[in-house]
Amino acid sequence: MAIDFSFGPEVEEVRQRVRHFMQTEVKPAESDDLWEDGNRRKLVETIIMLRQKAQQSGVWLPHMPREWGGMGLGPTAVAAVSSEAARTRLGAFVLNCQAPDEGNMHTLLHFGTDEQKQRFLKPLCQGTARSCFAMTEPEVAGSDPTLIQTHAVADGDDYVINGHKWFISGANGAHFAILIARTNADADVPQERNSAFIVDSKSPGWTIVRDIETMSGGHNHCEIRIENLRVPKQNLLGRLGGGHELGQVRLGPARLAHCMRWLGQIELALEMMIDRASKRFSHGSLLSEKQGIQWLIADSGMELYAAKLMVLHAAYKIENKLPYKIEVSYCKHHVANTLWRVIDRAVQVHGALGYSTDTPLSKMLTQARWARFADGADEIHQMRIAQLLIQAYGESGSVKRATGDLPL
Ligand SMILES: Cc1cc2nc3c(=O)[nH]c(=O)nc-3n(C[C@H](O)[C@H](O)[C@H](O)COP(=O)(O)OP(=O)(O)OC[C@H]3O[C@@H](n4cnc5c(N)ncnc54)[C@H](O)[C@@H]3O)c2cc1C
């Protein structure tokens, strides 16, 4: 029997170490006032202090190889660590595995030249720089990158870039951006229209217009104007026309990394739901004794269980260099929707308290909403899943290959 769902002792030890670090260091430092206006300095100092402790405790940079100062963990171990970190608000940031830096590190490691790695990847790994990833534009559907209008034109030793981006997470304070721009509008294959560039954010022509106010406030998701921005040719990342493939390589594991963090949030919401239901009394019994509430708890447990299996299996496939596209789409759709439903149910069980800002649920709910369309909207994943299912059936007369290729 080759199926074994336990982690090896070394991964379990790391998971426990991260859990302990989150409980004893990060959680106690996360006072509510850290996020109040005027407390930015305190927030930054807290992060710096916690990051030093993370380095001393050997829980720094879980997803990167040891030669880059990381813990050298594979995707399944990173799943374990990321979901532990996500049980706190600052966890991923403290371990230096937060979006979008985590995805950018993978991208630079995979596609960067030695010079690009030294200049841009090294400071990211050391935690002395931050970055952003600039692809989405207000004028065209972000779901279809072949429509990107921001364009780069070769001029001497540079590319000159003009365009408009928005919802660029972490842009304020980022030292550089990985920017996707159109380099050949007439490419035979539409996916070869775009290329990726590393843009120094101090370059003239890179202007942050605003930090977009969202339904959960301003969180450094910025609108950016790009006007006659000159980028040296050596800052092309990957091959000319390789922007789409770079995005795919980046987004597969990055989507799964989101799912890993969401697992921690789902678990937390379910635990809060059970805790509240076990203490609140109404109409002669505790809420936890009412069948209607038990169904909410049971449905959440079933969905979380399926979400964990999906994440572990997709991570296993990536780790073992097996095809993982459809598994990541299943995961992204299922986990994002489970996140939304379980937090919503937890709000329901908390009643007015759940709607207040006295518990973390209100922030968790508004944050959860974007999970269903960012990094691939639900419908795009459904479209891809359906295409791959139809293809598998057409080629083999069976959907087995496109449902995890499991031995069932
Ligand atoms: C909090 C947050 C952070 C983000 N961070 C970044 C970032 O750092 N960098 C970056 O580049 N972008 C970022 N984004 C943008 C994000 O990637 C886009 O929102 C996403 O790709 C969808 O693009 P869009 O918003 O243009 O929606 P659209 O593409 O206009 O889609 C809108 C809706 O239309 C439907 N739809 C679209 N296409 C189809 C289709 N083919 N079939 C059926 N239905 C369809 C879906 O319901 C979809 O939700 C962020 C967004 C948010 C909210």
pLDDT tens digit sequence for 65-76: 999 999 999 888
Per DSSP, the residues of 252-282 read HHHHHHHHHHHHHHHHHHHHHHHHHHTT-EE
> Rounded distance, CA 233 to CA 156, Å?
9
* CA 367 distance to own-chain centroid: 12
Ligand 1 pocket mutation, candidates 220, 373, 380, criterion most atoms within 8 A of CB:
373
pTM value > 0.85 = yes
- The pLDDT confidence band at residue 113, using thresholds 50, 70 and 90, is very high
Atom 48 of ligand 1 has which residue's CA nearest to it? 377
**Dihedral through CA 387, CA 389, CA 393, CA 399, nearest 10?**
170
Q: What percent of the chain has pLDDT over 90?
A: 82
User: How confident is the model over 280-335, as pLDDT tens digits?
Assistant: 999 999 999 999 999 999 999 999 999 999 999 999 998 899 999 999 999 999 99
Give the separation between CA 126 and CA 133, rounded to whole angstroms: 19
Task: List CB contacts of 217: < 8 A, sequence separation 6 or more.
Answer: none
Would the CB of 327 count as within 6 Å of ligand 1?
no
Q: How far apart are CA 161 and CA 316, in angstroms?
A: 39
Pocket flag, ligand 1, residue 168 (CB < 6 Å): yes
User: What 3-state class would DSSP assign to 169?
Assistant: strand
Locus of tokens 């030294």: 118
| Protein residue whose Cα sits closest to atom 40 of ligand 1 | 380
Six-digit token string for 78: 């990173």
Cα distances (angstroms) measured from residue 212 to each of 10, 29, 253: 42, 28, 27
**CA of residue 217 relative to chain centroid, distance:** 19
Q: What local confidence, expressed as pLDDT, does residue 76 receive?
A: 84
